[in-house]
Amino acid sequence: MLHAEVELKLGDLDLRFDLRADDGEIVALLGPNGAGKTTALRAVAGLQPLDGGRITLDGTILDDPAAGTFVPTAERPIGFVFQDYLLFPRLTALDNVAFGLRARGLSKAEARARAQGWLERFQLTTLATAKPRALSGGQAQRVALARALATDPRLLLLDEPLAALDATTRVTVRTELRRHLTTFDGARLLVTHDPIDAIVLADRLVIIEGGSVTQMGTPADVTARPASRYVAQLVGINLLHGTARGDRTVLLDSGATLTVADVLPGREVAVAVRPQAVALHRHQPEGSPRNTWEASVTDLEADRDRVRVTLAGPVALTAELTPAAVAELELAPGTPVWATVKAVDLTAYER
Amino acid sequence: MTSRRAVARRKVHARPPVVVIPLAAAAVAFLAIPFIALLQRAPWSDLRDLIGRPVVTDALRLSLTSAFSATGIALVLGIPLAWVLARTEFPGRPLARALVLLPMVLPPVVGGAALLFAFGRRGLFGGPIYDSTGFLLPFSIWGVIAASTFVAMPFLVITVESGLRASDPRYEDAAATLGASRWTIFRRITLPHATPSILAGAVLCWARALGEFGATVTFAGNLQGRTQTMPLAVFLALESDRDAAIALSLVLIAVSLAVLLPLRDRWLAV
């Protein structure tokens, strides 16, 4: 279990928060750029010493400036997956994974044999002799994950693990990453600025704003009850629960059916929909997209230059429109509308 | 990612602005004309005989020995210094950097004189060393090597320092999170990442050491077979035997090209 009470000043950043992550738990630090998320991870890894507070892992003090205790990075039982992965460019995939084992005193042969086992676990055996520049983003991420896990850490830290990927590979790599993360039994702490990544990957969200925590809770809690306007903007995402069926459709608990781009068959799933992805029409749209249903407006809330429109109907969700669109559609509480969402805008993941 | 793009960019053929072409041509001409003049005066028929003379072979042996030795010493001492300058903060850092640059801007004769006051028979350190051991640095091959190292090491230090500054220190962080000790990180991450700049710095250092004249003649003297390197031999021969001077110059040019040409495109395009 990780317990980090962090007090840290770095330039304009004043980081001050208290964070716990239990074994088996995936915690996502979510916040805008410059909020101090990466610095928080670096502090836990010992790459950035604390000014005050204390970091303990499984009861061992790693950093406690008041007591003069500081365990150097190399001696902390921590795996770190960096943004851009930072695979050593001159080493093969195999030697990248073997690096930590070599550094911990294993012979070259022994380290390579164990690294080979890790490559097998991550379906990377055919790439053992490849140099990092020959790997795709998803492959590089798996090598980075294997490298971080090979030293058998008690805590896994991931800094923006999906930011280096393009939009098309991102969805599949995210699903894959979630599967791999669940095989690790220590605590996992992950930093991201993308609310969908955080919601899909994490058991618990910690929202960091300007160096301090503004809200924590399960993805369902935080998205349903955002504590501030900022959090609402950041994670104001519709989460719909249902059961996946083999034919790429999801039967929602409310009884409606959604068509998604790809899904794990026959499981309990959640579907995340960004409010911006929901389109509203006054009449049934022509050539109608598959995810179309009738709804009625229950509430309108102006938020700077956007209007959040709450809808009731077979699929209860929130849409976000421009004030001009709201005026053009003449929306008011009680207005009947048709709502549509494209299949590619639905992110389905196992619950 | 950026480095990969930089490689790709090399393939784009840029069309230079009109003024660039004649100026570039003038630069090439200015560099080429002296060599053409030298080649035109070369005593081609006697060349084999001239090159075989002891003055030439002695000087060549001494020059190569001292240039490679100076480069070796500069690598051993200069890489750690470059690392300290690039990666650490300490109060005397600006002073240390200025000291590194000083031999580059100073006339080498001044460097030679300073070496003499430090390591000469009655020098600050040279005196006590001579009195207790009988060892004398000046007017020996050790003096030649010391003088060459003094003027050439700064080229290695500043090249490696800028190479280290340009490399991403987060790779070293990554190695630390994998349990690597500071020495392992230095050996397996820092040095390999700095290899291009180390090679470039070593070549510049070697070239500077090979051409060293002023500090050597001041500190080590001009004794054939002991301290007379190629540049000294060329200078001396210009007074007495012009053909020998040209022959020595040609040998020096050939040696320089043999070292620089294979390395240029691979390592010096930093």
What is the reported pLDDT for B7?
Answer: 47
A293 shares its domain with A155: no
Q: Residue A118 domain-assigned?
A: no
| Final residue before a domain boundary, out of A216, A235, A254 | A235
A22 shares its domain with A149: yes
Residue of A nearest to B195 (CA): A90
Residue of B nearest to A134 (CA): B4
| Residue among B181, B188, B193 whose CB faces A74 most closely | B181
Instruction: State whether A99 and B180 contact (CB < 8 Å).
Output: yes
ipTM, two decimals? 0.78
Q: Residue B136 domain-assigned?
A: yes
Q: Which residues does chain A have with pLDDT short of 50?
A: none
**Within an 8 Å CB–CB cutoff, is residue A304 touching chain B?**
no
Residue of B nearest to A90 (CA): B192
The model's pTM? 0.76
Cβ neighbours around A136 below 10 Å, total: 12
Q: Residue B85 domain-assigned?
A: yes
A157 shares its domain with A169: yes
What is the reported pLDDT for B81?
Answer: 96
A345 shares its domain with A287: yes
Q: Residue B14 domain-assigned?
A: no
Backbone angles phi, psi at A233, to 5 degrees: -65, -40
Q: Residue B75 domain-assigned?
A: yes
Q: Residue A17 domain-assigned?
A: yes
Question: Can you give the C-alpha Rg of chain A in angstroms?
Answer: 23
| Residue among B179, B181, B189 whose CB faces A88 most closely | B189
Contacts B179 to A, Cβ<8 Å = 74-75, 100, 103-104, 151
**Within an 8 Å CB–CB cutoff, is residue A155 touching chain B?**
no
Domains identified in chain A, total number: 2
Instruction: State whether B178 and A45 contact (CB < 8 Å).
Output: no
A148 shares its domain with A205: yes
Contacts B5 to A, Cβ<8 Å = none
Confidence of residue B8 (pLDDT cuts 50, 70, 90): very low
The per-residue DSSP string of A223-279 comes to HHS-SSHHHHHHH--EEEEEEEETTTEEEETTS-EEE-S---TTSEEEEEE-GGG-E
Q: Residue A20 domain-assigned?
A: yes
- Going along B27-88, which residue ranges are E strands? none
**Within an 8 Å CB–CB cutoff, is residue B92 touching chain A?**
no
A83 shares its domain with A195: yes
Q: Residue A215 domain-assigned?
A: yes
Q: Residue B125 domain-assigned?
A: yes
Q: Residue A275 domain-assigned?
A: yes
A172 shares its domain with A263: no
Chain B interface disruption, residue of A90, A92, A145, A155, most B CBs within 10 A: A90
Residue B265 has pLDDT above 70, yes or no: no
A276 shares its domain with A220: no
For the segment B145-204, what is each residue's pLDDT rounded down to a tens digit?
999 999 999 999 999 999 999 988 999 999 999 999 999 999 999 999 999 899 989 999
A-facing residues of B in 133-172 (CB < 8 A) are: 168, 170-171
Partnered with residue A209 across adjacent β-strands are A212
For the segment B32-87, what is each residue's pLDDT rounded down to a tens digit?
999 999 999 888 888 888 888 888 889 999 999 999 999 999 999 999 999 999 98
| Final residue before a domain boundary, out of A212, A235, A258 | A235
> Could you tell me the residue range of the domain that residue A172 belongs to?
2-87+135-235
**Within an 8 Å CB–CB cutoff, is residue A90 touching chain B?**
yes
CA distance A15 to A191: 15
Instruction: State whether B177 and A147 contact (CB < 8 Å).
Output: no
CATH number for the domain harbouring residue B264: 1.10.3720.10
Confidence of residue B10 (pLDDT cuts 50, 70, 90): low
A243 shares its domain with A226: no
Q: Residue A127 domain-assigned?
A: no
CA distance A97 to chain B (A): 10
CA distance A42 to chain B (A): 9
Instruction: State whether B192 and A90 contact (CB < 8 Å).
Output: yes
A226 shares its domain with A262: no
**Within an 8 Å CB–CB cutoff, is residue B198 touching chain A?**
no
**Within an 8 Å CB–CB cutoff, is residue A146 touching chain B?**
no
Higher pLDDT among residues B16 and A84, named by residue: A84
CA distance A197 to B175: 27
Q: Residue A151 domain-assigned?
A: yes
Q: Residue A205 domain-assigned?
A: yes
CA distance A134 to chain B (A): 11
CATH number for the domain harbouring residue A80: 3.40.50.300
CA distance A335 to B221: 101
At residue B185's C-alpha, the angle toward residues B179 and B187, to 5°, is 135
Task: List the one residue out of B202, B241, B217 whose CA is nearest residue B68.
Answer: B202
Residue B152, judged by CB atoms within 10 A of its CB (0-12, 13-18, 19+), counts as buried
CA distance A148 to chain B (A): 7
Q: Report whether A232 contacts A301 (CB < 8 A).
A: no
Instruction: State whether A148 and B184 contact (CB < 8 Å).
Output: no
A279 shares its domain with A299: yes
Domains identified in chain B, total number: 1
**Within an 8 Å CB–CB cutoff, is residue A148 touching chain B?**
yes
Q: Residue B92 domain-assigned?
A: yes
Residue of B nearest to A74 (CA): B179
CA distance B202 to chain A (A): 21
Three-state secondary-structure class, residue A188: strand
Instruction: State whether A100 and B184 contact (CB < 8 Å).
Output: no
For the segment B223-264, what is each residue's pLDDT rounded down to a tens digit?
888 889 999 999 988 888 888 899 899 999 998 888 878 776
CA distance A326 to chain B (A): 43
Beta strand A155-159 with A187-192 is: parallel
C-alpha torsion B160→B163→B165→B168, nearest 10: -130
Instruction: State whether A47 and B178 contact (CB < 8 Å).
Output: no
Q: Residue B42 domain-assigned?
A: no
CA distance B164 to chain A (A): 16
How far, in Å, are A52, B68, B197 from residue B268 at the CA level? 47, 18, 8
**Within an 8 Å CB–CB cutoff, is residue B178 touching chain A?**
yes
Residue of B nearest to A132 (CA): B1
Amino acid at A60: T
Instruction: State whether A88 and B171 contact (CB < 8 Å).
Output: yes
CATH number for the domain harbouring residue A280: 2.40.50.100
**Within an 8 Å CB–CB cutoff, is residue A78 touching chain B?**
yes
| Residue among A45, A46, A103 whose CB faces B180 most closely | A103
Beta carbon pairs, A and B, within 8 Å: 59
Instruction: State whether A151 and B179 contact (CB < 8 Å).
Output: yes
Three-state secondary-structure class, residue B120: coil
> Could you tell me the residue range of the domain that residue B62 belongs to?
54-268
CB half-sphere exposure, B80, CA atoms < 13 A? 4
A-facing residues of B in 2-61 (CB < 8 A) are: 4
A177 shares its domain with A242: no
Task: List the one residue out of B60, B222, B74, B84 whose CA is nearest residue B150.
Answer: B74
Q: Residue B45 domain-assigned?
A: no
Q: Which two structure tokens, joined as six digits, stand for B137?
A: 């640095």
- Which residues, other chains included, contact A287 with Cβ-Cβ below 8 Å and sequence gap of 6+? none
| Final residue before a domain boundary, out of A214, A235, A256 | A235
**Within an 8 Å CB–CB cutoff, is residue A114 touching chain B?**
no
